[in-house]
Amino acid sequence: MNRRFPVILLYGLLLLWSGSLRAQYVIRDAAEDRWYKNSIIYNLDVHTFKDSDGDGQGDFQGLIQQLDYLKGLGVDALWLAPFQPSPRRDDGYDVADFYGVDSTCGTPGDFAAFMYQAKLRGLRVIMDMVLNHTSDAHPWFKRARQDTASPYHQWYAWTQQRPSNYDKGMAFPGVQREVWSYDSVAKAWYYHRFYRFQPDLNFANPYLRSEAERILAYWLQQGVAGFRLDAVPFMIEVATPGVDQPPQQYEVITGMQRFVQWHNGSAIVLGEANVPPEDNVKYFGENGEGLQMMFNFYVNQYLFYAFATGKPALLVKALQDTKKKPATAQWAYFLRNHDEIDLGRLSTKQRNEVYQAFGPDTSMQLYDRGIRRRLAPMFNNNRPLMEMAYSLLFALPGTPVIRYGEEIGMGDDLRLQERLAVRTPMQWSSALQAGFTTAPKAFRPVISGGDYGYEKVNVAAQQQNPGSLLRVIQELIRLRRQCPEIGLGSWEIQQVAPAVLLMRYTFKGKSVLTLHNFSKMAQQVRLNAAAGDDYLLELTDKDKRQQLQPVNRRYDILLPGYGYKWYRVNAAL
């Protein structure tokens, strides 16, 4: 036996022992192993993304062709707008079969092929799940109205008399007339928060709850990583004739979360719940037993107010008002989504200020509360402002969600009805029909001509141009990836100038600072170095890698108009 063996053995044992000792001093961070807390989500509708078979409509095979583009952009997860069979009178949010794939965008086989290709590239897939209502063409509703004795009748909410508040609480004021509509077949009034052709499901019914679970299980088995749950506050309400604020069944949310996690431990529910901050806890749950993620609609409204006025003070307040949440929960932040920008929580004066800045014409406004435009035209294609806005999106303490086409600064088509204005086909190249389809005509018009037409604004051109918005956004995504502090850490805001938002995030002893200037005027700011800060390394300046040393424990920073800077504290060059 080797004479040195006992020494080596002893040394090995010592190493093992010290390792196990060290391990006891590492506290696992619950947030760190949650993929959704530090991901970048890309939202698209298969119908408007890419057509593979020349019928003028986007499809799953087309989406497969573009997956490398999405991977190259740097996103982690795709959120797909509804793709189930539907009369599509609300662009697919009127589902007629929860278990199918709309034949215009492919077959179940195409969906499976897409899921496989997404998985190969490490892209997770979140799907829209619209359980608040069905289409009136859904077989459940057909049965429900034809046969009031059928069990399906109870899956919807009915009343024999017209309720006094039949026209209160509409989701689409100005377009919708009522929330209780008479059905001449059932000879009763049924409840619908949205359009008349979207009867609300009744979640007080235990059989419906079980069916909803089967639907979730079905798609989880197809490999989806989670659901974007539509209209959560409406889904959980008990429609009650004559009651404006019907009771909410929060246990439906916790039940769903438990069910989803039981089927797939890492799957999530991302809720669409535009609720006031004091209600957040009811949706997230005290200890994270509710939705893992929610869109922060509250912050979104003050964000646009800040862009409109050049002053982020109320945005700061909104961030603080929504700060409290369970450690495992996460906010989803966005600039634009597929709907109007909802400004319903601003005061009339504040809303008018935002209208004035970004949607002055009434044709740009919708439902007495919002703006139906894309970001680039709202910002009048102001590049510094757009870049600052995207930098901020990636710097907000949550998970950024990008809407397809935003990365190239696509425009809107106000001739299209309601929210369809912001749902035009993706602009891939300067080929005919924007490279979206080889058909002579797309099912929905491609934007052409002018500043936002596909001839000028398209992916192919921007990929070739280092100064393009696409390249800037790609770079911001890369930067965000290097800063887990933002998605996972704790954060605080320092007031340094009325037009500047300064955030500091800390995670596992490392810190990042971001500064965003909401004014078109340059701002000279002075900030105090925190205890332990020796210098800052700017991450946003690609040309000069340089450390910023404090003078008398202070940093002086010049931000250009709409400028932004990200720094890492004490990072070596």
Give me the residues that bind ligand GLC (CB under 6 A), please. 90, 93, 130, 194, 230-231, 272, 338-339
* Nearest CB to ligand GLC, comparing residues 93 and 180: 93
272 assigned to active site:
yes
* Nearest CB to ligand GLC, comparing residues 332 and 559: 332
568: three-class secondary structure by DSSP: strand
Using Cβ positions, the residue closest to ligand GLC within the complex turns out to be 93
Q: State the catalytic residue, choosing from 59, 230, 340, 538.
A: 230
Helix axes 469-481, 383-395, angle to 10 degrees: 20
Cβ of residue 552: shortest distance to ligand GLC, in angstroms?
Answer: 51
Cβ of residue 129: shortest distance to ligand GLC, in angstroms?
Answer: 11
* Nearest CB to ligand GLC, comparing residues 98 and 194: 194
> What is the CB neighbour count within 10 angstroms for residue 509?
8
* Nearest CB to ligand GLC, comparing residues 178 and 272: 272
* Nearest CB to ligand GLC, comparing residues 90 and 178: 90
| Ramachandran assignment for 229, one of left (phi > 0), alpha (psi -120 to 50 degrees), beta (any other) | beta
* Nearest CB to ligand GLC, comparing residues 192 and 325: 192
Q: Counting every residue, how long is the chain?
A: 573
Cβ of residue 334: shortest distance to ligand GLC, in angstroms?
Answer: 12
Cβ of residue 417: shortest distance to ligand GLC, in angstroms?
Answer: 12
| Residue 5 backbone dihedrals phi, psi, to 5 degrees | -55, -45
Helix axes 297-309, 348-358, angle to 10 degrees: 60
Residue by residue, what is the 3-state secondary structure of 95-142?
CCCCCCCCHHHCCHHHHHHHHHHHHHCCCEEEEEECCCECCCCCHHHH
Give the separation between CA 469 and CA 251, rounded to whole angstroms.
Answer: 44
Enter the tokens of residue 29: 């961070």
Cβ of residue 17: shortest distance to ligand GLC, in angstroms?
Answer: 56
Give the separation between CA 317 and CA 313, rounded to whole angstroms.
Answer: 6
Give the separation between CA 344 and CA 565, rounded to whole angstroms.
Answer: 31
Cβ of residue 231: shortest distance to ligand GLC, in angstroms?
Answer: 5
Give the separation between CA 151 and CA 148, rounded to whole angstroms.
Answer: 8
279 assigned to active site:
no
Residue 361, CB-side half-sphere exposure with 13 Å CA sphere: 7
Cβ of residue 335: shortest distance to ligand GLC, in angstroms?
Answer: 16
Give the separation between CA 374 and CA 164, rounded to whole angstroms.
Answer: 38
Cβ of residue 356: shortest distance to ligand GLC, in angstroms?
Answer: 26
CA-wise closest residue to 563 among 511, 523, 525, 536? 523
* Nearest CB to ligand GLC, comparing residues 272 and 533: 272
The beta-carbon contacts of 468-474 under 8 Å, at least 24 apart in sequence, are: 468/408, 469/383, 469/386, 469/387, 469/407, 469/408, 469/409, 470/73, 470/407, 470/408, 472/387, 472/390, 473/73, 473/390, 473/402, 473/406, 473/407, 474/72, 474/73, 474/74, 474/407
Cβ of residue 171: shortest distance to ligand GLC, in angstroms?
Answer: 7
* Nearest CB to ligand GLC, comparing residues 101 and 130: 130
Q: Is the dihedral of CA 325, 327, 329, 330 positive or negative?
A: positive
Q: State the catalytic residue, choosing from 136, 272, 340, 406.
A: 272
Please provide the distance, in angstroms rounded to a whole number, between the alpha carbons at the two ends of the chain: 50
CB distance 566 to 539 below 8 Å? yes
* Nearest CB to ligand GLC, comparing residues 94 and 533: 94
Distance of alpha carbon 10 from its chain centroid, rounded?
A: 55
Cβ of residue 155: shortest distance to ligand GLC, in angstroms?
Answer: 17
Give the separation between CA 2 and CA 405, rounded to whole angstroms.
Answer: 68
* Nearest CB to ligand GLC, comparing residues 91 and 533: 91
471: three-class secondary structure by DSSP: helix
CB distance 568 to 510 below 8 Å? yes
> What is the CB neighbour count within 10 angstroms for residue 528?
13
**Which residue numbers are catalytic?**
230, 272
